[in-house]
């Protein structure tokens, strides 16, 4: 019989958050320094204007303009700092996603050979 050690999911998930925090901070800094979000919004508005003015497709271009505007507003309001939502105390890495993934992998590893007859 093999004694199995019990790992707490909180211990595993805090480890993930600790390891990935520098990576997320680097990605956040790069995205902020390169102005990725505002540039994408300007490109969306430009594509919508192109379809309206040069292609004559007013409905299609208006849809692109409207969806770009809505995504910009929702993105600004709902995700003030989206990377913090991943690694903060109540983020995905420390709660649901990492905890359930670690639990699933641990169960799969411990029961992999036990189903043989």
Residue 63 lies in a domain: yes
Summarize pLDDT for 100-109 with one digit per residue, the tens. Answer: 666 777 777 7
Summarize pLDDT for 59-71 with one digit per residue, the tens. Answer: 999 999 999 999 8
Domain that holds residue 59: 11-98
Residue 20 lies in a domain: yes
Residue 110 lies in a domain: no
The domain tally of the chain equals 1
- Single pTM value for the model: 0.49
Sign for the pseudo-dihedral over CA of 34, 35, 37, 39 = negative
Residue 62 lies in a domain: yes
Which of 19, 14, 9 has its CA nearest to residue 104?
9
Separation between Cα atoms, residue 102 and residue 62, nearest integer Å: 45
Residue 68 lies in a domain: yes
Separation between Cα atoms, residue 35 and residue 113, nearest integer Å: 51
| Residue labelled with tokens 């411990």 | 110
| Residue labelled with tokens 């995205």 | 31
Residue 104 lies in a domain: no
Residue 108 lies in a domain: no
């Amino acid at each position: 019989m093999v004694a199995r050690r019990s790992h707490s999911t909180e211990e595993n998930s805090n480890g993930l958050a600790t390891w990935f925090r520098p990576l997320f901070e680097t990605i956040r800094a790069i995205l902020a320094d390169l102005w990725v979000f505002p540039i994408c919004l300007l490109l969306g508005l430009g594509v919508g204007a192109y379809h309206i003015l040069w292609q004559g497709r007013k409905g299609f271009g208006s849809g692109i303009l409207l969806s770009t505007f809505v995504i910009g507003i929702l993105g600004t309001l709902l995700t003030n700092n989206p990377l913090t939502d991943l690694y903060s105390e109540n983020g995905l890495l420390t709660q649901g996603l990492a905890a359930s993934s670690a639990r699933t992998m641990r169960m799969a590893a411990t029961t992999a050979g036990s189903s043989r007859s």
